Amino acid sequence: MEKIVSLCKRRGFIFPSSEIYGGLASAWDYGPLGAELKRNVKSAWWSTVVHQRDDMVGLDASILMHPRTWEASGHVSSFSDPFVQCPSCQRHFRLDKVWDEIESSPWVVSLREAMSVDADSSYLLHWARTEGKKLAPNLSLVKEPEVTLSWIADSLSAFGQHKVNFKDFLSRLAARQSGIAQTPCPQCGAILPEEGVAANLMLKTFLGPVEQTAEKVYLRPETAQGIFVNFKSVLDATHRRLPFGIAQIGKAFRNEVTTKNFIFRMREFEQMEIEYFTTKQDAEDCHRRWIEDRLNWYLNMGVRKENLRVRPHAKDELAHYAAACTDIEYNFPFGWSELEGIANRTDYDLKQHAKFSGQDLQYQDLTTGAKFYPYVIEPSGGVDRATLAFLVDAYHEEIVKDRTRVVLRFSKELAPVKAAVLPLLKKNDGIVTLAKRIKNDLQKEFACVYDDTAAIGKLYRRQDEVGTFYCVTVDVESLEDGQVTVRDRDTMAQERISVDRLKEYLREKLAL
């Protein structure tokens, strides 16, 4: 992950937001290449789910909506992630994610290493006095090692024989009294409260110039509700019949308790959401088809199969109105995590909006005349999470001629730059003129760059590192034979192609 973050900053994919002022937690800006990549992600999605289907239309609703929307959707009353605050270091942690954070915290990683070498009490005492003191100063084991160790002696010997679960073991290291397991703070090791506090995740703002009298509105926490409130208008305007869906891409805002893992969890992010309206009878089948379609989309975008999995939610994970939900997960460097959720939301949303607005939002079957609320299948993904998965999946390191070559193997659709035009000699006017002419011609069809700021070997490496599909090199011979060298990013094979045929060649190869 560190390599990806550093590459993104160095090469202009993603920067920390307002960095000159020290940055803002959880906010990131997309640089020149990142902006291209993200646009490609969105247009590939739009093309697949809107343009290439007969049963979908698009929408672009506003971020600010009538406040009643969020009462109807349930966000005002229950959109919260209970969190705990550490009494010592004051950090906040999401209650349902706190053990994930503990498991990956620096002090637990260090302790795990120490325990794998030797699991006896003298070794633990040594760890507590050295690494533990630095990494988890408030852990009971660190503050009172003799006391803690005296009553966990039994579990320690069992730990050596792998009978003790590591989570139980950590809970005991955090405890002050024998036998009472506690949750340690991932940051400093102090005992965390057992009960969480619920805080609404919606960001608020004021409409109107005078704050005291202005209307309080929310920055939408999801794009979905914009689709539901427009259901009737879309139906009337397009004369669609069931089943059909509405797709939307747009910003969403959540006051997340903890934000980490780069662009995986942000407070301002973009969603790509579909609400697909169907009958109750067809909903289950339709849900299955969407799971398949969405999984295939990630595969078609070049993501390796072994890094994707689908995870159906257990009954107790489901929202009270949902009949089913399945997540598509990606194997991020920090573990398997949700990329997209595909839910069967039943007819809950339209019914709620009908109730709160007093409008009739039912659908009428023209043959039977029957009126009813359609069921809704919702594939809901994040643009930023998808972009992160594409970056991680594309990242490759290989040794070529004793040197490490970093290459982003983006798919053709996603690569921010399709071709780089490189003059072999930047002081040769003939070469430069021809190279610029070629770039000028290609850029009408492909995203291209021109670069003459280094020697050719270095220029190739730079383009590999950002995933440019083809490098087109203009040399002295090009001036005589009208041919250029085209180098393939993945195979590094080079071919001489006539300048007249170059556009057609790239068109075929990139099949855009």
Binding site for ligand ATP (CB under 6 A): 222, 254, 256, 265-266, 269, 271, 338-341, 380-382, 384-385
For 414-460, the three-class secondary structure string (H helix, E strand, C coil) is CCCCCEEEEECCCCCHHHHHHHHHHHHHHCCCCCEEECCCCCHHHHH
**Cβ 361 to ligand ATP shortest distance, Å:** 22
**Cβ 363 to ligand ATP shortest distance, Å:** 25
**Cβ 372 to ligand ATP shortest distance, Å:** 26
Nearest CA to 198 among 268, 99, 96, 86?
96
Gap between the terminal Cα atoms of the chain: 31
Query: For ligand ATP, which is the closer residue by CB, 313 or 503?
Result: 313
**Cβ 150 to ligand ATP shortest distance, Å:** 41
Query: For ligand ATP, which is the closer residue by CB, 256 or 452?
Result: 256
**Cβ 272 to ligand ATP shortest distance, Å:** 8
232 φ, ψ (degrees, to nearest 5): -65, -40
Query: For ligand ATP, which is the closer residue by CB, 28 or 446?
Result: 28
**Cβ 37 to ligand ATP shortest distance, Å:** 16
Query: For ligand ATP, which is the closer residue by CB, 350 or 389?
Result: 389
Q: The tokens of 314 are what?
A: 């257990």
Query: For ligand ATP, which is the closer residue by CB, 294 or 353?
Result: 294
Residue showing tokens 């393939």: 488
Query: For ligand ATP, which is the closer residue by CB, 298 or 446?
Result: 298
Cα 51 to Cα 35: distance, rounded to the nearest angstrom? 22
Query: 80-110 burial by CB neighbour count: b if 16+ within 10 A, else e?
Result: bbebbbbeeeebebbbeebeebbeebebbeb
Question: In sequence order, what are the residues at sequence separation of 6 or more whose Cβ sits closer than 8 angstroms to the Cβ of residue 355?
Answer: 72
**Cβ 6 to ligand ATP shortest distance, Å:** 21
Q: The tokens of 500 are what?
A: 């007249």
**Residue with CB nearest ligand ATP?**
382
Query: For ligand ATP, which is the closer residue by CB, 254 or 418?
Result: 254
